[in-house]
Amino acid sequence: MNDRIDGLDERLRRIGQHPFRAGFRLRGRDRAVVDLRGIGTVRRHADDLIGKRLAPARPHNDGRQTPYRGHPVFVAQHATATCCRTCLERWHAIPAGHELDDAERHYVVEAICRWLVGQYAPDEPPP
């Protein structure tokens, strides 16, 4: 799993070049959540949401379980291709059909949070 984390920035760069994924930006209310609550709180939200919606071996409504807006984590999931088990398998080589282990969950949360932080200017990171 460390090799996967080590290559995460490059993988996110490649995913971000895909036309569908490149269209996502942290805006409006979703950005305000990060601004008001801070990246630490949003990271905890991500861990909770991933545990409930993505980690099970067969998530309910897989492929449609992640809204496009309403929380910064949802936007980040679509931008990073961590929105469903099919995308996780295709883009991140995490096979579907098994419950995500702790290392895989950590990887997904890290991908989401790196994208969120990347939405801010380098000299003005999120709170």
Rounded Cα distance between 126 and 107, Å, is: 20
Can you tell me the mean pLDDT for 86-97?
A: 96
In a domain, 90, yes or no: yes
Question: What is the extent of the structural domain holding 67?
Answer: 2-118
Number of domains the chain is built from: 1
Q: Residue 92 pLDDT > 60, yes or no?
A: yes
In a domain, 111, yes or no: yes
The overall pTM is greater than 0.75: yes
In a domain, 127, yes or no: no
pLDDT, one tens digit per residue, over 43-79 is 999 999 999 999 999 998 888 889 888 999 999 999 9
In a domain, 70, yes or no: yes
Of 49, 125, 115, the C-alpha closest to 84 is 49
Question: Do residues 46 and 75 lie in contact, with contact meaning Cβ atoms separated by under 8 Å?
Answer: no
In a domain, 101, yes or no: yes
